[in-house]
Amino acid sequence: MRGLRLLIVTASLELGRVLKQIVSKDNQLVIAAEANNAYIARDKILECKPDVMLITNDLPRMSGITFLSKLMPQYPVPTVMIASPALESKAYEAGVADFIPFDESRENIKNAAGELSSRSICDRLKKAVYPEWDKLAVNSKGMIKLDSNSKVRSVIAMGASTGGTEALATVLSGLRKDIPGIVIVQHMPEGFTQMYAQRLNNECEITVKEAKTGDTVIKGQALLAPGDKHLRLIKVNGVYQVECSAGPKVSGHCPSVDVLFKSVAKSAGRDAVGILLTGMGRDGAQGLLEMRKAGALTIGQDEKTCIVYGMPKAAYDLGAVTWQAPLENIAQKLYYILDKK
């Protein structure tokens, strides 16, 4: 694979010229297209299928943030935004992978070359697509060698409560053995999780097992939290593993979805997808928000298909949900996200 295909979207000719000068010096990036407004950008995305997008907010007719909020649910392009520091929170809510604070005023643009070069824009663009870019094999001509394990979103974290046993079965039965490793919390009493894992293992193409401390997160396997222990994701020597430990209830539960999701945010960051399914209460909402702030993409089950629209609603109200989807579409949506990354 040659350098990553980049789409630059900015209304400023001066800033666009500076960005092209910076990017053109990196042979691992190729400018596939340019656009000066959201409508042209949309057409260029469909036409050129860029690997990554660099965008400013100051666009005519539709701001960059508004454009991203409309684009990302349908076509999640890894994106780095350059905009006023005051817009950082809104940019991440709209789905950007990285944000570079920069005042887009004319006076600042005159000095943009030096300032933006110092922000490591090229590296940040590459890491928006592959967070562990530095570990990929890249030759002197910018040729990138990707193996089958080089997907960006390599950990999937799922949480559910009331109605979740059937909801999880629906999602997991739609997954193939090529799916990245999965970690799951389903609110369930001690002794029942092992039987439930065995049931899912018999019904699904992927392997499902009750988790134990030291289990490695691997492709084609889902690890289910034991009914009496919190499940946490950790990273040991570059490998994702899980820890299972007894402890007090968190968000009213042990195991707690919040505990799992917060550990995923800390250990995996952008290298994750979070999914919150039907359930009563708020467990998982804050954790999903931390995942999204860390760069993960997130899915919440929609109200119509939830047995109880509690946990996904709480997450949605917090701004933790990138996309809402009906239960029967979540597996398909997950593959769509993974394919785009």
- One-character DSSP codes across 146-210: --TT--S--EEEEEE-TTHHHHHHHHHTT--TTSPEEEEEE---TTHHHHHHHHHHHHSSSEEEE
Angle at 178 between CA 237 and CA 3, to 5 degrees: 70
DSSP H or E segment with residue 29:
strand 29-35
- pLDDT value at 138 more than 60: no
CA dihedral 191, 192, 194, 197 (to 10 degrees): -170
d(CA 233, CA 115): 37
157 DSSP β-pair partners = 183, 274
Give the 3-state secondary structure of residue 272: strand
User: Given this model, what pLDDT does residue 132 score?
Assistant: 56
User: Given this model, what pLDDT does residue 152 score?
Assistant: 39
- pLDDT value at 95 more than 80: yes
Residues found in the chain: 341
Q: In the structure, what pLDDT confidence band is assigned to residue 239 with cuts at 50, 70 and 90? A: confident
Is 147:5 a contact under the CB 8 Å cutoff?
Answer: no
Tell me the catalytic residues.
161, 187, 283
Q: Which residue has the tokens 């994750």?
A: 272
- pLDDT value at 83 more than 70: yes
Average pLDDT over residues 301-306: 95
Q: Crossing angle, helix 330-340 and helix 164-172, to 10 degrees? A: 50
For residue 212, count other CB atoms closer than 10 A to its CB.
Answer: 12
**Average pLDDT value over all residues in the chain:** 87
- pLDDT value at 100 more than 50: yes
- Name the phi and psi angles at 235, rounded to 5: -125, 120
Pair of tokens at residue 43? 């057409």
DSSP H or E segment with residue 222:
strand 221-224
User: Given this model, what pLDDT does residue 34 score?
Assistant: 96
User: Given this model, what pLDDT does residue 110 score?
Assistant: 60
pTM of the model: 0.59
d(CA 200, CA 278): 18
Q: In the structure, what pLDDT confidence band is assigned to residue 318 with cuts at 50, 70 and 90? A: very high
Q: In the structure, what pLDDT confidence band is assigned to residue 142 with cuts at 50, 70 and 90? A: very low
Domains of the chain and CATH, by start: 4-145 (3.40.50.2300), 155-340 (3.40.50.180)
- Name the phi and psi angles at 50, rounded to 5: -65, 155
Q: Is the peptide bond before 326 cis (omega within 30 degrees of 0)?
A: no
For residue 211, which amino acid is it? Answer: A
Question: Quick one: how far is CA 181 from the chain centroid?
Answer: 14
Give the 3-state secondary structure of residue 278: coil
- pLDDT value at 120 more than 60: yes
d(CA 101, CA 119): 9
